[in-house]
Each structure stands twice: as structure tokens, then as C-alpha cells.
């Protein structure tokens, strides 16, 4: 899957799911009703309130892999491949232990989150920042890039403190530039 932010230090990901988990998500959705890829994309987008939309470049290759493994089959309907989980796919999903419960819990956390509008606004602001950096940082001189990196690092630490319910003064005393260099190298 294409990483929207090329300067990210994180490897390309499968969104909110840890690596390899997406195949279980697809099987989980297909166990209740046959669907085509776009329906699955829409269902996940709805479950995550628009904060996560799996790309076609993730969904369709994963469906193809599941088909090759014998876990799903498809039938052409109105020019679309409608995928259905096979008995072998159901067995495979059942053999994964608590994976269904973990998927359900994870999706329910998003479905019932009372802060979803604030989260959506926060993520939108993050997207604006990422877009600004993606479009403008390559035009900046070394001094500006370093200043931007220091600001980002301070903001990262402050957000980390807020989410961890800790006071920023509890951090070890190290000069900001040393911490930035140590962490961002």
C-alpha cells in the first residue's frame, strides 16, 4: 500500500491493523454475507467513521490471496466479483482462537467512541500538517528544516505526555536539540 506521507519513519502499514491481520478482517466480514471489494471498503470506512478507509490496493490483493488459499470463492454478479467465505475459510477463522473477539472488540471501540467527532477533527488537522510538510519541506533550507523538526519533536512529546497523563516536567533533563538529534537520527 502506498504510504501517503513519504517522510514517515514507520513502514507502510495496513492502517489500524497489525501486519497480517487484514485477512482475518476480510474473512470476518464475509462470514456474515457475501460482498464485493468495494462493499468491504465502504463497510470498514463506516465502522471507522471515515478515519480509516482501506485502499483497493490492499483489499483486492488480499481477497485474491484468500481465494488462492481456498478460504473465499467468488461469483460474477453485475460485472463485479462477489466474494463468499468457504467452509475452509470458516474453519481457518475459527482456528485462530480469539481473533474474532479481538476484531469485534477493536471495531466496537471505534463504533461506540463518544469522542469520535473530536478525533475526526484532530486527525483532519494532522492530515493538514502532513500535507503542508509534504508540499513545502523540500523547498526549505537546512536551518528551517531543523527548526521544523524541533517543533514537531516538542509537539510529539507534549502529545505523548497528554495521552499518557503525565506532566512534561517529569521527563529527564536533556537539551531539546540533543533529544531531537538522538530520536530523529
pLDDT of residue 14: 44
The CATH code belonging to domain 22-113 is: 1.10.10.10
Q: Where in the chain is the domain with CATH 1.10.10.10?
A: 22-113
66: number of Cβ within 10 Å: 22
The larger pLDDT score, comparing residue 102 to residue 86, is at 86
The larger pLDDT score, comparing residue 151 to residue 109, is at 151
Q: How confident is the model at residue 102 (pLDDT cuts 50, 70, 90)?
A: confident
DSSP per position, the chain? ---SSTT-SSPP-BTTBPTT-HHHHHHHHHTTS-EEHHHHHHHHHHHTTTS----HHHHHHHHHHHHHTTSEEEEEETTEEEEEE-HHHHHHHHTTTTHHHHHHHHHHHHHT-TTHHHHHHHHHHHHHHHHHHHHHGGGS-HHHHHHHHHHHHHHHHHHHHHHTT--GGGS----HHHHHHHHH-
Q: How confident is the model at residue 82 (pLDDT cuts 50, 70, 90)?
A: very high
Say what angle helices 87-94 and 22-30 make with each other, to 10 degrees: 120
pLDDT of residue 12: 45
Separation CA 6–CA 1 (nearest Å): 12
Pick from 23, 14, 20, 21: nearest CA to 71? 23
Separation CA 4–CA 55 (nearest Å): 11
Separation CA 72–CA 82 (nearest Å): 10
Separation CA 61–CA 76 (nearest Å): 17
Residue 184 has pLDDT above 90, yes or no: no
73-82, 114-123, 125-134: least confidently modelled range: 114-123
- The whole-model pTM stands at 0.58
Amino acid at each position: 500500500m502506498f504510504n501517503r506521507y513519504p517522510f514517515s519513519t514507520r513502514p507502510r502499514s495496513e492502517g489500524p491493523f497489525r501486519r497480517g491481520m487484514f485477512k482475518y478482517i476480510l474473512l470476518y466480514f464475509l462470514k456474515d454475507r457475501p460482498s464485493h471489494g468495494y462493499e468491504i471498503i465502504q463497510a470498514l470506512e463506516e465502522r471507522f467513521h471515515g478515519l480509516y478507509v482501506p485502499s483497493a490496493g490492499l483489499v483486492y490483493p488480499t481477497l485474491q490471496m484468500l481465494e488462492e488459499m481456498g478460504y473465499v470463492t467468488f461469483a460474477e454478479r453485475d460485472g463485479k466479483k462477489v466474494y463468499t467465505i468457504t467452509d475452509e475459510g470458516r474453519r481457518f477463522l475459527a482456528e485462530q482462537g480469539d481473533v474474532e473477539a479481538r476484531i469485534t472488540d477493536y471495531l466496537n471501540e471505534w463504533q461506540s467512541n463518544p469522542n469520535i467527532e473530536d478525533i475526526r477533527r484532530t486527525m483532519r488537522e494532522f492530515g493538514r500538517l502532513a500535507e503542508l510538510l509534504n508540499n513545502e519541506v523540500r523547498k526549505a533550507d537546512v536551518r528551517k528544516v531543523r527548526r521544523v523538526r524541533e517543533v514537531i519533536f516538542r509537539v510529539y512529546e507534549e502529545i505523548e505526555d497528554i495521552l499518557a497523563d503525565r506532566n512534561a516536567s517529569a521527563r529527564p533533563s536533556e537539551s531539546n536539540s540533543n533529544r531531537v538529534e538522538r530520536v530523529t537520527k
